Amino acid sequence: MASSDPSTPTTTVHATKVRRVAIAGNPNAGKSTVFNLLTGLKQKVGNYSGVTVERKSGTLVGHEDIEIIDLPGTYSLNPKSEDEQIAYDAITSHLPDEDPLDLIVCVVNATNLERNLYLASQILDLGLPTIIVLNMMDEVEAGGTVLDIRLLSDILGAPIVPMVATRKQGLEDLRNLVKGSLPSPGATRWRLDEEVGTAILGLADELKKIDGSLTQKRREAECLRILNSDRLLDYWETRSPSFFKSVKDAREELDSKSVAYGQAEVRGRYSWLGQVARRVTKTQEAAEARKLTDRLDSVLLHRIWGPVIFVVLLLLVFQAIFSWATPFMDLIDAGISLLAGVVRTVLPEGMLADLLVDGVIAGVGNVVIFLPQILFLFFFLSLMESTGYMARSAFIMDRVMRRVGLSGGSVMPMMSAFACAVPAIMATRTMKSQRDRLLTILVIPLMSCSARLPVYTLFIGAFIPAATFFGPIGYQGLTMFSLYIFGTVVAFVAAAVLKKTISGPESFFMLELPPYRAPQWKLVFWRMVERAKIFLIRAGRIIFVFSILLWFGATYPKAELPTEIQSRYTAVETELASLSDGNDDARVAQLEDELLELDNTASAYQMEQSAIGYLGKMIEPVMSPLGFDWKLSAGIITAFAAREVIVGALGTIYSIADADEESLALREHLQNAKDPETGRNLYTPLVALSLLVFFVLALQCTSTLAIAKRELNSWKWPVIMWVYMTGLAYLASLIVYQGGLALGWG
Partner 1 sequence: MTLDQLEPGRCARVTCWCDGISDRFMEMGLLPGTEVEVVRVAPLGDPIAVKVKNCQIAIRRADATQINIEAS
Ligand X SMILES: Nc1nc2c(ncn2[C@@H]2O[C@H](COP(=O)(O)OP(=O)(O)O)[C@@H](O)[C@H]2O)c(=O)[nH]1
Tell me how far apart the alpha carbons of residues 119 and 22 are, in angstroms, rounded to a whole number.
14
CB of 313 to partner 1, least distance (A): 14
Which of the ranges 31-39, 147-155, 312-320, 465-473 carries the binding residues for ligand X, by CB under 6 A?
31-39
In whole angstroms, how close is the CB of 170 to ligand X at the nearest point? 9
Find the part of the chain contacting partner 1 (CB under 8 A) among 260-268, 370-378, 437-445, 712-720: 260-268
- Tell whether residue 512 is a contact of partner 1 (CB under 8 A): yes
Provide the pairing of β-strand 63-70 with 54-60: antiparallel
Name the nearest CA neighbour of 603 among 543, 659, 660: 659
The Cα 601–Cα 595 span in angstroms is: 10
Would you give the binding string for ligand X spanning residues 501-540, x where CB under 6 A is met?
----------------x--x--------------------
Tell me if 303 contacts partner 1 by CB under 8 A. Answer: yes
* Nearest distance in Å: CB 740, ligand X: 53
Sort strands 103-109 and 19-25 into parallel, antiparallel or unpaired: parallel
Tell me the C-alpha distance between 304 and 389, whole Å. 17
Q: How far apart are the first and last CA of the chain?
A: 37
Q: Residue 287, interface with partner 1 (CB under 8 A)?
A: yes
Could you tell me if 643 and 695 are in contact, meaning their C-beta atoms sit under 8 angstroms apart? yes
Region from 167-175, 316-324, 393-401, 668-676 binding partner 1, contact rule CB under 8 A: 393-401
Beta strands across the sheet bearing 130-135:
43-47, 54-60, 63-70, 19-25, 103-109, 130-135, 160-162
Tally of CB atoms within 10 A around 281: 17
CB atoms within 10 A of CB 146: 12
State the amino acid at position 735 in one-letter form: I
For residues 205 to 244, the per-residue mask of contacts with ligand X, x marking binding by CB under 6 A and - elsewhere, is: ----------------------------------------
- The 10 Å Cβ neighbour count of residue 149 is 16
Applying CB under 8 A, which of residues 190, 235, 244, 270 lies at the interface with partner 1? Answer: 270
Give the distance, in angstroms, between the CA of residue 576 and the centroid of all CA atoms in the same chain: 56
User: Which phi and psi (to 5°) does residue 25 adopt?
Assistant: 160, 170
CA dihedral 252, 255, 260, 265 (to 10 degrees): -20
Sorted by sequence, the CB contacts under 8 Å of residue 695 that are 6+ apart come out as 452, 455, 456, 639, 643, 729
Pick between residue 164 and residue 647 the one whose CB is nearest to ligand X: 164
Q: Are 565 and 601 in contact (CB under 8 A)?
A: yes
Contact partner, 29, from partner 1, ligand X, none, Cβ < 5-8 Å per class: ligand X
Beta-carbon neighbour count of residue 499 at 10 Å?
17
In this chain, which of 228, 382, 555, 684 binds partner 1, going by CB under 8 A?
A: 228
| Segment interacting with ligand X, rule: CB under 6 A, options 164-172, 412-420, 445-453, 736-744 | 164-172
Partner whose footprint covers residue 217, from partner 1, ligand X, none (CB < 5 to 8 Å by kind): none
Q: How far is the CA of 258 from the CAs of 78, 182, 229, 255, in angstroms?
A: 22, 43, 18, 5
Alpha helices (H) in 640-715, listed in sequence order: 645-653, 664-672, 685-697, 702-712
Pairing outcome for strands 63-70 and 19-25: parallel
Candidates 9, 24, 25, 732; binder of ligand X (CB under 6 A) is 25
Tell me how far, at minimum, the Cβ of 104 lies from partner 1, in Å.
19
| Contact flag: residue 183 with partner 1 (CB under 8 A) | no
Q: Which stretch binds ligand X (CB under 6 A): 25-33, 328-336, 553-561, 716-724?
A: 25-33
Judge contact between 73 and 27, C-beta under 8 A. yes
The amino acid present at 9, given as its one-letter code, is P
- Interface residue with partner 1, options 76, 166, 450, 603 (CB under 8 A): 76
Pick from 81, 386, 393, 652 the residue near ligand X by CB under 6 A: 386
Task: Judge whether 329 and 372 are in contact, CB under 8 Å.
Answer: yes
From the list ligand X, partner 1, none, pick the one residue 270 interacts with, judged by a Cβ distance below 5 to 8 Å according to partner type.
partner 1
Q: Bridge partners of 66?
A: 19
Contact call for residues 552 and 641 (beta carbons, < 8 A): no
The reply to whether 111 sits near partner 1 by the rule CB under 8 A is yes
Task: Verify binding: residue 28, ligand X, rule CB under 6 A.
Answer: yes
> Taking CB under 6 A as the rule, does residue 407 contact ligand X?
no
CA dist., res. 310 & res. 408, Å (int): 13
In what helix (H) or strand (E) does residue 32 lie, and over which residues does it extend? helix 31-39
Q: In this structure, are residues 411 and 691 in contact, taking their beta carbons and an 8 Å threshold?
A: no
Q: Is residue 80 part of the contact set for partner 1 (CB under 8 A)?
A: yes
Check binding of 263 to partner 1 (CB under 8 A).
yes
The reply on whether position 696 binds ligand X by CB under 6 A is no
Among 39, 47, 76, 135, binds ligand X (CB under 6 A): 135
Q: Is the peptide bond before 514 cis (omega within 30 degrees of 0)?
A: no
User: How many of the chain's residues bind partner 1 (CB under 8 A)?
Assistant: 41
Position among 17, 63, 267, 499 found at the interface with partner 1 (CB under 8 A): 267
138 binds ligand X (CB under 6 A): yes
CB of 61 or CB of 233, closer to ligand X = 61
For residue 492, the minimal CB distance to partner 1 (Å) is 16
Cβ atoms 320, 152 nearer than 8 A? no
State the binding partner of 80 from ligand X, partner 1, none, CB within 5 to 8 A by kind: partner 1
H or E element in which residue 132 lies: strand 130-135
What are φ and ψ of residue 581, in 5° steps?
A: -55, 140
Q: Residue 520 CB, nearest distance to ligand X (Å)?
A: 4
Within 401-460, the residues that bind partner 1 by CB under 8 A are: 402
Nearer to ligand X, 30 or 79 (CB): 30
| Number of shown-chain residues binding ligand X (CB under 6 A) | 20
Selection from partner 1, ligand X, none that 32 binds (CB < 5 to 8 A by kind) is ligand X
- Residue 73 vs 127, nearer CB to ligand X: 73
Does 399 sit near partner 1 (CB under 8 A)? yes
Show the DSSP H helices in 101-193 as ranges: 113-125, 137-142, 149-156, 171-179
Helix H or strand E segment including 69: strand 63-70
Answer with the entry of ligand X, partner 1, none that 115 interacts with (C-beta below 5 to 8 A by kind): partner 1
Cα distances (Å, whole numbers) of residue 673 to 198, 462, 617, 679: 85, 12, 17, 9
75, 475, 544, 715: which one binds partner 1 (CB under 8 A) = 75
Query: According to the binding rule CB under 8 A, does residue 307 interact with partner 1?
Result: yes
**Which residues is 320 bridged to in the sheet?**
none
For ligand X, which stretch binds (CB under 6 A), given 157-165, 198-206, 581-589, 607-615?
157-165
Q: Which of 63, 115, 344, 617 binds partner 1 (CB under 8 A)?
A: 115
Q: Does 509 bind partner 1 (CB under 8 A)?
A: yes
CB atoms under 10 Å from CB of 506, counted, come to: 7
166 binds ligand X (CB under 6 A): yes
Does 118 sit near partner 1 (CB under 8 A)?
yes
Shortest distance, position 66 Cβ to ligand X, whole Å: 20
> Near ligand X by CB under 6 A, which window of 28-36, 184-192, 325-333, 664-672?
28-36
Residue 355 in contact with residue 528, Cβ under 8 Å? no
Residue of 165, 424, 444, 449 interacting with ligand X (CB under 6 A): 165
Q: Which residues bind ligand X (CB under 6 A)?
A: 25, 27-33, 73, 135-136, 138-139, 163-166, 386, 517, 520
Q: Which residues bind partner 1 (CB under 8 A)?
A: 75-76, 78, 80, 111-112, 114-115, 118, 228, 262-263, 266-267, 270, 287, 290, 294, 297-298, 301-304, 306-307, 391, 394-396, 398-400, 402, 508-514
